[in-house]
Structure 1
């Protein structure tokens, strides 16, 4: 079975902004308006749902209202893409309230975002075989001068064919969000640190497979449930997989435990390699560092791991299309992601 790709974005595409996890507090509403304006400059039509404007008890609204708004956009034929404002904590509450049979037969549309949004993206791809895009969040689009790596989300999803489309590792990354939220409406990310991808398998390597992954903090919750049927999905095609993951706010041992959890549920079976993003706000467990843990885990699963890649909570990040066949190449601190279809 082949992956189903939504239609490429055009200047006339319609975007729906909805908050199946966290909404946006009143103090930041101005940035939502700015993000809408920036998206409209690309020619898009933008609809913003009611859930975006509210936030209480670590969610935008009740699970019922979040699911209803999301379903209405996912099944509306006039909608071409859906972007939550950002992630959050409680998207899992929505999964059981979606009509997955109806979604599988509805017009495919791009789901775009990261963090807790990847809970929806990954589950949607695994259950429907429709591609989704792990990429920048809608909230980040309020910036007027996004870097070239971030801006590629639109190029990737607008391409009539992504075959041989190459994304390169960024030159610099943002090590903290503190300055960005304090300085007001930012011209772009505070790219203050040199990007250096790393590898557990020498100075050069490459691997090929169908991409699947997202935020480990939330994906570990759905692993082993009916909302993440990775074995059934993986068995529907011949190629290997590439598992990509990132996490935030964990000590090293906690990150290991959650990687172990995925391993026990077969996520790394029939994979050709693993791509890990830069851990955000994470610290060693005593003297147990993330680097040591990653090398040990690579030995444990018998796969090469490329890590500190441009994925996740320390932007910028590549646009990772769940379900797409791709090749990851690494050499001496730099890397590329090349789509093969």
Structure 2
């Protein structure tokens, strides 16, 4: 990555770093200190000032400390004075265990913006469901260990940067309905979503927001295509997918690795099948640049957004006034 000059506009931004799930680990289960320190150093090169929470380096079994310790650090990160952003070190598993331990009345009044993805989707969605607060779906500390230029440019939105509309070429699967294949089509809705496994796991719980006429974005990693289908069916059968105006599909790395024989499930077949079960008015658009990939956009969760489709391209915008600050 370039050194500080490229992102000097972030100089002095204080970022609270905490561990709601587990640590960077080596293959033998030891804490990967070198990876953490490399990520922190790259944050500093961007002008950021990491503020490490008290229990950041704890390890209790699989998790970065007990549930109570991790929940306390999360609460502190979101309520510390003079902090510009709260950001976890990584995802993994453990965030859903913390949701019942958080003081949602306090978090409703907190002002610190928060960003994360993967397992952290549970907090993004629960925060919106419980308080109506928006948050950011985007890079965590681990993303800075080997940062991508596009990801850094889009990450600036958390500090008020204006990188412009998020535009991409959408793929051929799932097949768009006839009415959406030509001309210009625009729609608006509440932007929300995240990791598919986490979204589907929250169905029926108080942690999943009830969003109608929304723009739902989804991604996952190392989930076989048939498992992606099963999770999408959970959302479909719960009536969640048909209540949206659009479903934006990000990266699903590894989904086709379990392909074993001709006719076996592939990601394209899964998307086409789900598309066939949805009303034509609900768009499914692939290719959104986000997921467990370096080339990752930062997206707000819980704000009004505008989606435009034209000639194989898509564009997503949201109002700066309504975004998270």
**TM-score for the superposition, normalised by structure 2:** 0.81
C-alpha contact (below 8 Å) 2:165/2:317 kept by paired residues = yes
Mapping 1:147-296, distance limit 5 Å: 147-159=148-160, 165-169=164-168, 198-201=173-176, 203=181, 205-228=185-208, 230-231=209-210, 234=211, 240-283=213-256, 284=259, 287-296=264-273
User: How much does 1:56 deviate?
Assistant: 4.8
Question: Which has the higher mean CA deviation after the structures are superposed, 276-285 or 243-252?
Answer: 276-285
- What residue in structure 2 maps to residue 98 of structure 1? 102
Distance change (3 Å), C-alpha of 1:197 and 1:136:
farther
Q: Out of 301, 309, 316, which is 2:278 matched to?
A: 301
C-alpha contact (below 8 Å) 1:134/1:214 kept by paired residues = yes
- What residue in structure 2 maps to residue 140 of structure 1? 143
User: How much does 1:275 deviate?
Assistant: 0.4
User: How much does 1:285 deviate?
Assistant: 7.5
Distance in 1 (CA, whole Å) between partners of 2:286 and 2:302 is 21
C-alpha contact (below 8 Å) 2:155/2:298 kept by paired residues = no
C-alpha contact (below 8 Å) 2:219/2:291 kept by paired residues = yes
Question: Which has the higher mean CA deviation after the structures are superposed, 326-335 or 312-321?
Answer: 326-335
- What residue in structure 2 maps to residue 24 of structure 1? 24
Distance in 2 (CA, whole Å) between partners of 1:323 and 1:309 is 18
- The CA RMSD measured in Å over matched residues stands at 2.6
Distance in 1 (CA, whole Å) between partners of 2:252 and 2:132 is 28
Where 1:116 maps in the other structure, the secondary structure is helix
